Amino acid sequence: MTHVVTENCIKCKFTDCVDVCPVDCFREGPNFLVIDPDECIDCAVCIPECPANAIFAEEDVPADQVKFLEINAELSRDWPAITRTKKPLDDADEWNNVPGKLEHLEK
Ligand code: F3S
């Protein structure tokens, strides 16, 4: 089991989730974070930290977001670890809750 970062993180990347992770399982891309499913211990402390409500336990991922299980697993193999919270993307608040952001995912 793992936790999963889903679509609403794209173009927001608030990174509040990072500081609370006890096992440093977040990986950083240009405009999105993913969770390495091999490192996540399912502690769930990141869920309430995300201002975009983008993180779910695997079993709670909404049906239209299930593709993000594979996206997290795949991109976590290539992206570097992020272990400290940093400034969100400049227009994060404007993009929060905008639907259909998958097309903006930069790899
Ligand atoms: Fe993304 Fe939420 Fe973390 S927007 S970077 S999952 S705090």
Summary mean pLDDT of the chain:
98
37 found inside a domain: yes
Residue 88 CA, closest ligand 1 atom number? 5
pLDDT in tens, 7-36: 999 999 999 999 999 999 999 999 999 999
Report the alpha-carbon distance of residue 6 to residue 27 in Å, rounded: 13
Q: What total number of domains does the chain contain?
A: 1
Give the domain extent around 31.
3-81
Is the CB of residue 27 less than 8 Å from the CB of residue 81? yes
92 found inside a domain: no
φ, ψ of residue 81 in degrees (nearest 5)? -70, 145
Is 54 touching ligand 1 by the criterion CB < 6 Å? yes
CATH number of the domain at 46, please.
3.30.70.20
**pTM of the entire predicted model:** 0.98
Please tell me the predicted confidence (pLDDT) of residue 43: 98
Q: Pick from 4, 7, 8, 12 the residue to mutate for probing ligand 1's pocket: most ligand atoms within 8 Å of its CB.
A: 12
